A and B are shown apart, each in its own frame.
Chain A
Amino acid sequence: MACRKGMWTLSEMLYWFFYIPMAVVVFIAFVKIPNVILENAVQPVELDAALTKEMLFNRMSVFSYPYGTEFSEFRPANSSTWLFLSPKKFGYMISFKDEKFFGNKYFYLDAKPLAGINYRNFAEVRNGILVDLVYPKKYEFFE
């Protein structure tokens, strides 16, 4: 009888041993998960890529003092000064005739073959100039 009571106590102890931590985990999950989901919902990657592309085309256009921006010509510039980049993870390549310019070159070269799997690719050609951008599906940042 004493043995049966001991077994009962042990099984109850085991029950509470798992039950209480599980209940705490479930409780925290209910409180935290909605906020994390809401924060991650703000991922305007596509719009961001479209704007960055426009910025690059705008930057590459020749500026004429009396007439303003001329979009039909290419302004060569030092590749390091096409854009001042933030810690946002993305890479781009500008290709014009035989010249190629990169932004976040190593990220671009690593991510480009994986575009469509882990990354998203945004490319456009205007007046013979190719701008090719690669972004992660959700924002990631360089440390």
Chain B
Amino acid sequence: MNKKGGILDLVLHPVFVTVVVLGLVFFSVMHAITNIGESKEFDKKRLAADISLLIESFQSVPRELNLFINYDFPSDFNLDIKVNKVKVSNGDSQIFFFERNPDFDVFSRSFKKSDFNNSKLVVFRSGNKLDFAISKNFKLEQDIFCPSSESLLTKIEVFPSTITEWLVKNRPNIFSETSLPSGQADLVVGFMGIPKGVRVYTLDETSLIGCYIIASVVKEFPEISANVVPVNPKFLHGLDDRKIILKEKNSLVIGFSQDIDKKRLAYAIYKGLNNYGLS
């Protein structure tokens, strides 16, 4: 009896315990391995990191370029892009941070997983904005990049033309008609006819304002050709209309063809000046 008890205690009991423990360990390892295969945590982290790095690389490309990419985002996850972080979630979430170049406005957007059914995520950069959309019905706008401005315009003198009437009527405290610049204005604007499209002829001092005007004109008239043209008045012919205006330090001349809607053009110029900084 004692001998049987001894065998039970010394052999069978530890063997039983060892088998149970090995079984537990084996099943927990198998469970962990299965979890790795099915785990979405890694996917979430990878996607968050990938989109963050994509946003950073979009901000590394030269500023005048507009670009977009179709990103194959899986329809298993929700996506939130806010300020400087990307969050990928389905219940639990994973986040990844990105740095921001102040030249660009990075838009905050949220997408549900259902948004990605048969559709891709579009990351695009147009002008000063870096934005996100769903590929259905996406069309890249050809905006123009202009660096940020901290200047304010409080007094603008405009030479009489069909456009100045609209400008003066809408902001009479800022726009005033002139036939001779007073030398007191923040900006002097002249107009002239050209064969095609819109050109803004600028000096060094006014090239940023020209950029804002052209960016706004392109948004209003996407089909026309519009450019900023830097001018050195020294090399202009004596009878050139631009010479009279561009002898003023803060001046520019806007050339436009006669087939362009004047009211819409005046509105676009006003909006461009507003974006630059009207007080």
Chain A residues with a Cβ under 8 A of chain B = 23, 26-27, 30-31, 33-35, 38-39, 41-42, 44, 47-48, 51-52, 54-55, 58-59, 61, 63, 65-66, 68-69, 81-88, 141
Contacts and interface: CB of A to CB of B under 8 A. Distances in A.
B211 A65 contact: yes
B228 A65 contact: yes
Contacts of A35: 35-36, 39, 41
Range of interface residues on chain B? 35 or more
Contacts, number: 116
B84 interface: yes
Contacts of A58: 59-63, 101, 103
Given A47-B53, A65-B230, 6 more contacts: A34-B32, A34-B39, A35-B41, A42-B46, A66-B229, A86-B97
B25 A34 contact: no
Interface in B120-168: 145-147
Interface in B42-95: 42, 45-46, 49, 53, 56-57, 59-65, 84-85, 94
B29 interface: yes
A41 B42 CA distance: 9
Interface stretch (B202-210, B239-247, B264-272): B202-210
A59 B103 contact: yes
B84 A84 contact: yes
Interface of B: 21, 24-25, 28-29, 31-33, 35-36, 39, 41-42, 45-46, 49, 53, 56-57, 59-65, 84-85, 94, 96-103, 145-147, 202, 207-208, 210-211, 227-230
Contacts of B211: 65
Given A55-B101, A83-B100, A86-B85, A44 B53 contact: yes
